[in-house]
């Protein structure tokens, strides 16, 4: 986003590109009402109250031809999304009308908006802080109840409130340190170092809670990855098909049927999961199958949940498979062992599972669907997405995660400084840095480059 002139008037189509029943053009800036009036036949928009809608005609000032009948909604500064004068023109959704309207608006003195420029103006005028502005983009991109709820909580300021509370604690700590600094020559009673350390540790714990929520928070946005893994012929592809409710993957009794990764999504209690079928793990001379196994291992690394499918009548390689899974998976990933084919093996066969496997064990039949509902419930309860409500605060944005992690490093230095009985000015410096990183999240400390980066990812018209 270059050549931003903050005080000019911008316009864009705010609805999705293409033809629809209705399209909405948005005009924002000091001249928004005056510019619209130049092409408006109907009530003088300069004289109408804020937050009122008016039916009229859009006239091309150069040809005097009617372009469309439209509804103009007027919002006067500062009571609008951007904090500026805003007019929203609801027009018929023909792509030609949309293009012509933009041309006429530009001829009349408006400028085409850059991606995210409306929201950037909302941030600049103090209507939204940076996290709330970013939540607008997340809300637009949300594709499940869970990602919608997390974005909505952030947009309503829940995350910013948590950061404000953290900031207050830091300011309190800072004030206590400054006091010690100012009066260190005199015989004044200060807050004890133990007390300061307790406060710093509370700040650390809160930063830790927030950074720890990122793995789940980010996964909720894109769908939580669930990898189905295990030996060949265990029934992995059958399980994928049963979970999806469609014949997505080829199933056969030939070992090594699945070579490439097959992935699709399901929703469990409003949370999106990416179910990933992988090639069966075995030693093979087949080059293509080996490549498939490599891909399977890579997916185990990325998975938040691993479903290890076992055929209880085929357990020769169970220890090798356990070693491979344990080696590849991250510490955060949770494992479910699904003992499959219970329709033919009965309930009496209990494969000997490796002792070092930390997993929840279920008995299923991927072919008949037995135990699949319980499997879905287990996936959901292990994912960390259960229990998201209107108060849940999660870090879902890599930028926030980065700043919080750096802030956590700084507060760790504060704690170490207090432990080592360092002089206040060193500790105060680390604390100022912590505050700086926290401020960069909500945008109290920011640079034009950061803003450009953030808002360029928005759609035009938002």
Contact partners, residue 182, CB within 8 Å, separation at least 6: none
Q: Of ligand GTP, Mg ion, none, which one does residue 238 interact with (CB within 5 to 8 Å by kind)?
A: ligand GTP
For residues 133 and 155, what is the distance between their CA atoms, to the nearest angstrom? 7
Q: Which is nearer to Mg ion, 77 or 261 (CB)?
A: 261
Q: How far is the CB of 241 from Mg ion (least distance, A)?
A: 10
Q: Write out the residues near Mg ion by the rule CB under 5 A.
A: 236-237, 257-258
Which partner in ligand GTP, Mg ion, none is near 253 (CB below 5 to 8 A by kind)?
ligand GTP
Task: Name the binder of 343 from ligand GTP, Mg ion, none, CB < 5-8 A by kind.
Answer: ligand GTP
SS3 state at 13: strand
- Shortest approach of Mg ion to residue 248 CB, angstroms? 11
Q: Which two tokens stand for residue 285?
A: 């001379």
Q: Does 341 bind ligand GTP (CB under 6 A)?
A: yes
Does 257 bind ligand GTP (CB under 6 A)? Our answer is yes
Cβ-closest position to ligand GTP: 280
Q: What CA–CA distance (Å, rounded) separates 122 from 237?
A: 49
* Nearer Cβ to ligand GTP (29/235): 235
Q: Which of 311, 326, 316, 415 is nearest to 367 (CA)?
A: 311
Which one among 29, 116, 217, 280 touches ligand GTP, defined by CB under 6 A? 280
340, interface contact from Mg ion, ligand GTP, none, CB < 5-8 Å by kind: ligand GTP
Pair 200, 415: CB distance under 8 Å: yes
Considering beta carbons, is residue 102 or 367 the nearer one to ligand GTP?
367
Q: Which of 333, 336, 366, 454 binds ligand GTP (CB under 6 A)?
A: 366
Q: Least Å distance between CB 257 and ligand GTP?
A: 4
> Where on the phi/psi map is residue 223: left (φ > 0), alpha (ψ -120 to 50), or beta?
left
d(CA 188, CA 186): 6
Residue 321 sits in the site that holds ligand GTP (CB under 6 A) = no
Could you give the CA distance from residue 1 to residue 11 in angstroms, rounded to a whole number? Answer: 15
Q: Residue 310 carries which DSSP code?
A: E
Task: Report the Cα 369 to chain-centroid distance in Å.
Answer: 33
Q: Give yes or no for residue 256 binding ligand GTP (CB under 6 A).
A: yes
Q: How many other C-beta atoms lie within 10 A of the C-beta of residue 141?
A: 14
Tell me the closest approach of the beta carbon of residue 329 to ligand GTP, in angstroms: 18
**How far is CA 225 from each of CA 73, 138, 167, 187, rounded to the nearest angstrom?**
43, 19, 34, 60
Nearest to ligand GTP of 341, 437 (CB atom):
341
**Region class of 389: left (phi > 0), else alpha (psi between -120 and 50), else beta:** beta
User: Does the protein bind ligand GTP through residue 317 (CB under 6 A)?
Assistant: no
Site membership for ligand GTP, residue 356 (CB under 6 A): no
Which option in Mg ion, ligand GTP, none does residue 232 bind, with CB closer than 5 to 8 A by kind? ligand GTP
Q: Restricting to residues 219-238, name those near ligand GTP by CB under 6 A.
A: 232-238
171 binds ligand GTP (CB under 6 A): no
Q: In what order do the strands lie in the sheet with 40-41?
A: 40-41, 52-59, 66-75, 86-92, 22-28, 10-13, 111-112
Taking the alpha carbons at both ends of the chain, their separation in whole angstroms is 14
Find the shortest distance in angstroms from Cβ 236 to Mg ion.
5
Residue 434 found at the interface with ligand GTP (CB under 6 A): no
Nearer of residues 234 and 322 to ligand GTP, judged by Cβ: 234
Smallest separation (angstroms) from Mg ion to the CB of 237: 3
Neighbours of 183 (CB within 10 A): 12
> Is the distance from CB of 120 to CB of 443 less than 8 angstroms?
no
Smaller CB separation from ligand GTP, 158 or 341? 341
Closest to 163 (Cα-Cα) out of 390, 398, 385, 407: 407
Q: What are 432's two structure tokens? A: 């100022």
* Binding to ligand GTP, residues 367-386 (CB under 6 A): 367
Q: How far is the CB of 258 from Mg ion (least distance, A)?
A: 3
271 binds, among ligand GTP, Mg ion, none (CB under 5 to 8 A by kind): none
Residue 340 found at the interface with ligand GTP (CB under 6 A): yes
Kindly tell me which of 28 and 237 has the beta carbon lying closer to ligand GTP. 237
Q: Per the structure block, which two tokens stand in for 404?
A: 């919080």
Q: Are 133 and 123 in contact (CB under 8 A)?
A: yes
| Alpha carbons 215 and 378: distance in angstroms, whole number | 19
Footprint of ligand GTP (CB under 6 A)? 232-238, 251-253, 255-258, 279-280, 340-341, 343-344, 365-367
């Amino acid at each position: 986003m270059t050549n931003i002139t903050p005080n000019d008037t911008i316009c864009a189509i705010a609805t999705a590109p293409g033809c629809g029943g209705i399209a909405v053009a948005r005009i924002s800036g000091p001249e928004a009402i005056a510019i619209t009036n130049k092409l408006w036949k109907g009530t003088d928009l300069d004289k109408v109250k804020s937050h009122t809608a008016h039916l009229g005609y859009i006239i091309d000032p150069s040809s005097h031809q009617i372009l469309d009948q439209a509804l103009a909604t007027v919002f006067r500064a500062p009571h609008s999304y951007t904090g500026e004068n805003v007019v929203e023109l609801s027009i018929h959704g023909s792509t030609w009308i949309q293009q012509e309207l933009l041309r006429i608006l530009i001829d009349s003195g408006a400028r085409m908006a850059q991606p995210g420029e409306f929201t950037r103006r909302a941030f600049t005028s103090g209507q939204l802080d940076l996290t709330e502005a970013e939540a607008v983009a997340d809300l637009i991109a949300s594709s499940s109840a869970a990602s919608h709820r997390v974005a909505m909580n952030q947009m309503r300021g829940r995350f910013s409130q948590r950061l404000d509370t953290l900031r207050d604690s830091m300011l309190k700590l800072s004030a206590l340190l400054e006091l010690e600094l100012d009066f260190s020559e005199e015989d004044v009673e200060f807050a004890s170092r133990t007390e300061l350390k307790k406060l710093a540790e509370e700040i650390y714990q809160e930063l830790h809670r927030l950074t720890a929520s990122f793995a789940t928070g980010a996964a909720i946005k894109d769908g939580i990855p669930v990898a189905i893994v295990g030996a060949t012929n265990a029934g992995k592809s059958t399980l994928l098909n049963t979970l999806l409710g469609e014949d997505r993957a080829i199933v056969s009794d030939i070992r090594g049927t699945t070579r490439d990764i097959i992935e699709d999504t399901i929703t469990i209690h409003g949370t999106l999961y990416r179910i990933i079928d992988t090639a069966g793990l075995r030693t093979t001379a087949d080059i293509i199958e080996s490549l498939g196994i490599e891909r399977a291992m890579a997916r185990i690394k990325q998975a938040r949940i691993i479903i290890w499918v076992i055929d209880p009548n085929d357990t020769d390689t169970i220890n090798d498979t356990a070693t491979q899974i344990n080696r590849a998976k991250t510490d955060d990933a949770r494992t479910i062992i699904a003992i499959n084919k219970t329709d033919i093996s009965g309930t009496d066969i209990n494969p000997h599972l490796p002792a070092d496997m930390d997993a929840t064990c279920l008995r299923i039949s991927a072919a008949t669907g037995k135990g699949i509902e319980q499997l879905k419930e287990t996936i959901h309860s292990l994912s960390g997405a259960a229990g998201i409500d209107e108060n849940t605060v999660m870090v879902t944005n890599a930028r926030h995660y980065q700043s919080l992690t750096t802030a956590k490093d700084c507060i760790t230095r504060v704690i170490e400084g207090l432990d080592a009985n360092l002089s206040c000015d060193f500790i105060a410096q680390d604390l100022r840095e912590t505050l700086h990183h926290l401020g960069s999240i909500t945008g109290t400390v920011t640079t034009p480059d950061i803003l450009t980066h953030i808002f360029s990812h928005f759609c035009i018209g938002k």
